Amino acid sequence: MEVRVDRARCVGQGMCVLHAPLAFSLSDEDGCSEARFRTVPPEQEDAVRHARNACPEQAIIITE
């Protein structure tokens, strides 16, 4: 599984960080979310899916 954040959609609400703090962080520069890695470790896959589902802007893109 791979993950990325569509920064054009992200407004930095932080729901991804709340649901998957090991997978996402908020940028100090603009407050938008950033994926901490491109390839998701297997133990983080469920958390990343929850984060995607919780994102109000649907900015988290997962490729299986």
Structural domain of 10: 2-63
Q: How far apart are CA 21 and CA 38, in angstroms?
A: 15
β-pair type (33-35, 24-26): antiparallel
pLDDT per position as a tens digit, 39-59? 999 999 999 999 999 999 999
pLDDT per position as a tens digit, 24-44? 999 999 999 999 999 999 999
| Count of domains observed in the chain | 1
Q: Place 6 in a pLDDT band, splitting at 50, 70 and 90.
A: very high
CATH number for the domain harbouring residue 51: 3.30.70.20
The pLDDT of 7-13, averaged and rounded, is 95
